[in-house]
Amino acid sequence: MEMTCLIVDLNAGDAEAKWNASPASKKALLEAKFAVNLEQAQDLIKSALTSPMVIISKDFSPEIKALLSEYQAAFGPMSDFQVIVNSDPSPQFMMSVFEFGVEQFVADETWVEDVSAICRDVDTKMRDPESPEYRTMSLVMAVRSADAGHITEAQAGVADLATYDFRAAYANGKASEATGDYSAAIDNYRNATGMNKLFRPVSTRLGEACLITGRVDEAIEIFKKLERSNPSDIDRKASLALSYIEKGDFETAQKYSAEAEQLDPGSSRVVEIKAQVLLCQGNFNEAFGMLDKMSDVGPFFAAKLNDLGIKLSKAGKGKSALALYQKAHKIVRNELKYKITLNAVLACRRLGEFDMALKYVARCAKEYGSLFPKLAKIKETLESERAQKAQAPAINPPPKQVG
């Protein structure tokens, strides 16, 4: 796999100059790319195929949390691939990054030499198709590509590994989510938490999967436990708020919603909470207007949007359903887009818009990737129904009555 080493210098120092000046960097075997702020780093994470990440910072900050979250979403819990440069990290700093599985701290004085050695180790692992890191990353990249057919194939490559490696079990859980098998996702996440209880993202995913499958009380217990470990995390408060909304306890939901908003008033998660309340109250138009303020929406709210679209479509409001799907498609995670598109196909079919439906079929096939047997059958049915419609005799309006 092609790799680069991402070095994020949040101290606004001379990291790039030090790296280029050191003979040790020439032995790293990986090209280094540099960023000095969150936006640059996020762009590089999104564009790189795979990337060990080095963060140079004196203190833990919201930017570091965002970076670790972005990296974890893109590449999974690859602790071997992440490094913090800080000679004397505070206990709070260490605890905060450890929640993301990051365990490697290196000294400011020797970071170039240490990072170079880590890069060589990563390069060796990623050149071995049998290594746990290579197999896990292959599945992670399949999920990242949002190619559900490729995901299913890649899952077979970690079937044995996921029984004893928490990283593979976590990646397998995400893969199961991406293909809509939430029961399998729950099994994988439970397995991963049993192997590493301190890796918080897997517990978060487990709670989300429980919520999606209607195990609301289980989800609440998981999110409460996470909340106790870090009461200043907006995602945990948002997850609790959404869980209590689902339970019908709007008073408790409002408590967590207010706390989340206090932490980050402009967060997409806060908007998500408010929109979910509106949906439960039947204020669909107002909720619909809030979708543009969301981003990277996860499977729970995406499922709610899909359900609403299906209800609108079945009620004869196909155009409203399509408008909803168009907005939803822009804000959900990549691996969830094909589900939105598939529902748009069915909405077009109910409207009798077969040409438009077939265009959505083509997009869904591209988003899903590989072979999608269900979609092939839908396409065949649509083409048959379109032909029947074209051959049907035109129905002339009755003549106007005179006199």
Residue 56 has pLDDT above 90, yes or no: yes
Distance between CA 331 and CA 296 in Å, rounded? 6
Where is pLDDT greater, at 208 or 101? 208
Instruction: Note the pLDDT tens digit of each residue in 69-92.
Output: 888 877 877 777 899 999 999 988
Q: What is the pTM of this model?
A: 0.77
**Which pLDDT score, from 0 to 100, does residue 370 have?**
62
Instruction: Note the pLDDT tens digit of each residue in 277-305.
Output: 888 888 888 888 888 888 888 788 888 89
Using a 10 angstrom Cβ sphere, with 0-12 exposed, 13-18 middle and 19 or more buried, the burial of residue 167 is: buried
Instruction: Note the pLDDT tens digit of each residue in 196-236.
Output: 877 788 888 899 999 999 999 999 999 999 898 888 888 88
- Round to the nearest angstrom and report the end-to-end CA distance of the chain: 82
Instruction: For the chain, list the domains and their CATH numbers.
Output: 4-126 (3.40.50.2300), 131-198 (1.25.40), 203-294 (1.25.40.10), 295-368+378-384 (1.25.40.10)
Where is pLDDT greater, at 110 or 373? 110
Residue 17 has pLDDT above 50, yes or no: yes
Task: Report the pLDDT averaged over residues 261-289.
Answer: 86
Using pLDDT thresholds of 50, 70 and 90, give the confidence band for residue 2.
confident
**Which pLDDT score, from 0 to 100, does residue 403 have?**
45
Percent helix, percent strand, percent coil in the chain, to nearest 5: 70, 5, 25
Q: In the chain, what is the greatest distance between 2 CA atoms, to the nearest angstrom?
A: 100
Task: Report the pLDDT averaged over residues 182-190.
Answer: 93
Nearest CA among 232, 221, 217 for reference residue 193? 221
Task: Report the pLDDT averaged over residues 123-138.
Answer: 90
Using pLDDT thresholds of 50, 70 and 90, give the confidence band for residue 399.
low
Distance between CA 325 and CA 113 in Å, rounded? 50
**Which pLDDT score, from 0 to 100, does residue 394 have?**
62
Where is pLDDT greater, at 234 or 113? 113
Distance between CA 198 and CA 201 in Å, rounded? 9
Q: How many residues are listed for the chain in this entry?
A: 403
Nearest CA among 33, 77, 25, 26 for reference residue 54? 33
Task: Report the pLDDT averaged over residues 122-151.
Answer: 86
Using pLDDT thresholds of 50, 70 and 90, give the confidence band for residue 354.
very high
Where is pLDDT greater, at 350 or 12? 350
CB-based contact 217:306 (threshold 8 Å): no
Residue found under tokens 């396409």: 379
Distance between CA 356 and CA 345 in Å, rounded? 8
Among 14-28, 142-156, 267-281, top mean pLDDT goes to: 14-28
Comparing 135-144, 310-319, 392-401, the range with the smallest average pLDDT is 392-401
Residue 190 has pLDDT above 60, yes or no: yes
Residue 402 has pLDDT above 70, yes or no: no
Residue found under tokens 């909340």: 227
Tokens of 381: 């049915």
**Which pLDDT score, from 0 to 100, does residue 265 have?**
83
**Which pLDDT score, from 0 to 100, does residue 353 have?**
94
Q: Which residues of 202-239 are buried (b: 16+ CB within 10 A; e: fewer)?
A: bbbbbbbbbbbeebbebbbebbeebbeeeeebbbbbbb
